[in-house]
Amino acid sequence: MGKRRDGREAAIQFLFSRDINKDLGPDDFDTFFSLCIAPAGARKFAKELLTGMLDNLEEIDTKLEPELENFELKRLSTIDRNVLRLATYEMFYLDDAPPIVCINEAIEISKRFGTEDSGSFVNGVLDKMKDKLDRPLR
């Protein structure tokens, strides 16, 4: 795995912890990542992702909600919800990775940490999200 995948996975692990302990925030990154086995470059990328995602969380959730047919964001599994949030952040707020790469990474991470159905669920939601982008998918 590369630095970026490791960073995304570390970010998901932090977000999982944050769902359990709502008080965790950017001030807790260093403490959390001191326990993380990801390499330094991956931790740096994870912090960048988390800072941006948390700063735009309300807007990200507003983008996601309409695409969750018959689901509510708050009722999704912690992994699925946070993988979707992170991928949406990368697709809409960053331009250093093509949206197709962000989607593929999200699917793989959700398969690794989520349930048997997480990969296909995440794929379905992000496939709808990509149609709302105003930049090339590749």
pTM of the predicted model, to two decimals?
0.92
| Residue 137, token pair as written in the block | 């998918």
**Residue 32 Cα distances to 3, 63, 70, 85, 121, angstroms:** 18, 28, 34, 20, 28
- Segment among 4-8, 32-36, 90-94 with least mean pLDDT: 32-36
pLDDT digits (tens, 9 = 90+) for 25-60: 788 888 888 887 788 888 899 999 999 999 999 999
Both tokens assigned to 106: 């999200």
Burial annotation 58-91 (CB, 10 A radius, 16+ → b, else e) = eebeebbeebbeeeebeebbbbbbbbbbbbbbbb
Q: In the prediction, which pLDDT does 136 show?
A: 62
Give the pLDDT score at 46: 93
Whether the per-residue pLDDT at 135 is higher than 80: the answer is no
Q: Indicate the CATH number of 3-130 among 1.10.3210.10, 3.40.50.150, 3.60.10.10, 1.10.940.10.
A: 1.10.940.10
Q: Where are the domains of the chain?
A: 3-130
Cα 26 to Cα 38: distance, rounded to the nearest angstrom: 18
Cα diameter, the chain: 40
